[in-house]
Amino acid sequence: MREVTVEAIARKVKELFLAANTRIGADILEALEGALGREKSPLGRSVLSMILENNRLAAQEGMAVCQDTGLAVVFVKLGQEVLIRGGGYQDAINRGVEEAYREGYLRLSVVDDPLFERRNTLTNTPAVVYTDLVPGDRILIRVTARGFGSENMSALGMLKPADGPQGVIDFIVTAVKNAGPNPCPPTVVGVGIGGTADRAMVMAKEATLRRLGRPHPDERYARLEAEALKRINALGIGPAGLGGSTTALAVHIETMPTHIAGLPVAVNLCCHAARHAEGSL
Amino acid sequence: MIEAIRIQTPLRAGAAEALKAGQAVSISGILYTARDAAHKRLAQLIEAGRELPIDLRDQVLYYVGPAPARPGQVIGPAGPTTSTRLDPYTPALLERGLRGMIGKGQRSREVIDSMIRHRAVYFAAVGGAAVLIAKRIKRVEVICYPDLGTEAIHRFTVEEFPAIVVIDAWGNNLYESEPPKYAGL
C-alpha cells in the first residue's frame, strides 16, 4: 500500500488546471503551424496567425488562452494499491480546481442548478470526475478545461450494426458539418464507438485528449480516422468557420465492446484551444 | 495580413449599410457586453413593456463573458461567445435600434431577416484570440447586473478591436458563401 494525501491530489489538480489553461500543447501548436502553411484561404491564414500569436502571448504572460476557461473535467487512473488519506477525494479535486481558478484569474463558468436558478457557484466547481481503478500504486491524473462552444456541438448516434464503417464516417462528418463555425474550428474530433450511450460519449471526450500524431493502433480504425479527417476537411468550413482548408486537426477514435444490437457512436469536439495537462502522483 | 478598415461606434445606419461581408474592420469606441443571462433579463423587460437599462440605438453589443482582470490589468481574456444562443432575444433588440453585434458562429434566419429590416451588421471576432482581443480593451465599467459576474452588462472602451463583417446589413453571409469555395479540395 502507498499513501497519498488529499493535499497532494488537490495541489496536483491545481497545477494541472493552471498549466492547461495557459499553455497549449506543442503537438497542437505544431498542427496549427502546419495548417497555416497549407491554408488556401487568406481569411483562414489570418485566423490561424491570430490564434498562434494569441497562444504565444498567453504562454508568455501566464494568461488563459481563452476566456472560456471551461468546465473542469478530470480523468483519474487510481492504482489499487493507493490509500488516500486526509479527507474526501472528490472534495480534494474540487479544491484543486477552485484554487487554480482563483489564483489563475480564470473565469468562473459553472452554475448550480442547470435548469431553473442557474446561479454561478463562484468556484468553477464541481468538476466532472471519472475515476478508474487500475493495478499499481500510482495515480495518473489527466485534466481538460472544456469550453462549451465546442462541448455544445457534441453528438450521439445510436447506429444500427448494419450501418457499418460508412455509416459511422457519415455520422461523424455530419456532426462536424452541423457544428459549422460554432466549435471554433479547427477542432480535434473525438469519437467513441461502442459501449453504451454514456460510455461512448466518455470515450469520445477522452479521445480528444490524445496527443496528435498517434493514430489508432488497429489499422482499420486508423484508416477510418484518416478518411473521416479527409472528408471533414473537404467540407471547407475552415478556421473559425470562415472558409478554408483546415476544419479539423485530427480525428481520434476510441472503441470498446458493445451489445449485439448496438453501434453507439459519439462525437465530442475540442476547439483549437485544446487545454489538456497530465501528471502523476 | 488582411487590410482592416477603421470604424467608430456608435454606428449609424448609413455606416452599417456600407459594410460588406468579408471586410476586416478595426473598431474603436464603446461596446456593450451581454450574453445569455443579461439577454434574458432584457427580454423580460421588453416583454413587460419596461425601459431598458441602456439605450441601444446605434450601439454595438459584444457577446462576451470576460475572464477576470489580474491586478493592474484592464480585463482578462475576452474573446467572443457563440452567438446562436442569443438568437431568440436578438430581433427585439434590433427593433430597439441595436446596430451591430460581435460574436462568433451562425445566426438564425429570423435574426438575419431582422438585421436586413433594421440595417444592422454582425461581426465575428476570432474565438480563442482572447488575449489579443483583451489588449484592445482600454477601459471596462460594469453598467448593470453586477450580480451576474462575468455575464454582467459592461461598457468596454476599445481601440482597434479586430473583427470581420460576417453577415452584412444586406444578408450576405460569409458562413454560407466561403466554405463552398474551399469544399472538396
Does residue A186 sit in the same domain as residue A265?
yes
Final residue of a structural domain among A127, A146, A165: A146
User: Please, how many CA atoms are within 13 Å of residue A36, restricted to the half-sphere of its CB?
Assistant: 17
Does residue A138 sit in the same domain as residue A231?
no
pLDDT in tens, B17-55: 999 999 999 999 999 999 999 999 999 999 999 999 999
pLDDT in tens, A226-269: 999 999 999 999 999 999 999 999 999 999 999 999 999 999 99
Q: What is the CATH number of the domain that holds B41?
A: 3.20.130.10
B175 lies in some domain: no
pLDDT in tens, A108-134: 999 999 999 999 999 999 999 999 999
A35 lies in some domain: no
Does residue A207 sit in the same domain as residue A109?
no
pLDDT in tens, A75-116: 999 999 999 999 999 999 999 999 999 999 999 999 999 999
A47 lies in some domain: no
**Residue B185: pLDDT above 80?**
no
Helix ranges (H only) for chain B are 13-18, 36-47, 90-95, 109-118, 130-134, 174-177, 179-182
Does residue A119 sit in the same domain as residue A238?
no
A254 lies in some domain: yes
Does residue A232 sit in the same domain as residue A266?
yes
Does residue A204 sit in the same domain as residue A154?
yes
How much is the pTM?
Answer: 0.95
Q: Is the distance from CB of B124 to CB of B168 less than 8 angstroms?
A: no
Which helix H or strand E contains B158, and what residues bound it? strand B153-167
B150 touches A: beta carbon within 8 Å: yes
What is the ipTM score, two decimals?
0.94
Strands (E), chain A: 2-5, 71-79, 82-85, 128-134, 139-146, 155-159, 187-195, 248-258, 263-270, 276-280
Domains identified in chain A, total number: 2
User: Count of CB atoms within 10 A of residue A184's CB?
Assistant: 32
**Residue B2: pLDDT above 90?**
no
Domains identified in chain B, total number: 1
Of B128, B131, B179, the CB nearest to A63: B131
Distance CA(B164)–CA(B129), nearest Å, equals 13
Chain A residues with CB-CB distance to B177 below 8 A: 243
Taking an 8 Å cut-off on Cβ atoms, the answer to whether B2 and A42 are in contact is: yes
The CA-to-CA distance between both ends of chain A, in Å, stands at 14
B8 lies in some domain: yes
pLDDT in tens, A195-225: 999 999 999 999 999 999 999 999 999 999 9
pLDDT at B3: 85
Taking an 8 Å cut-off on Cβ atoms, the answer to whether A46 and B68 are in contact is: no
Chain B residues with CB-CB distance to A107 below 8 A: 65-68, 76-77, 150
Final residue of a structural domain among A82, A112, A146: A146
The contacts of residue B135 (CB under 8 Å, 6+ apart) are none
Task: State the average pLDDT over residues B91-107.
Answer: 97
Query: Percentage of chain A surpassing pLDDT 70?
Result: 100
Structural domain boundaries enclosing A214: 149-274
User: Please, how many CA atoms are within 13 Å of residue A176, restricted to the half-sphere of its CB?
Assistant: 35
pLDDT at B1: 56
pLDDT class of B184 with cuts at 50, 70, 90: confident
A140 lies in some domain: yes
Structural domain boundaries enclosing B131: 4-169
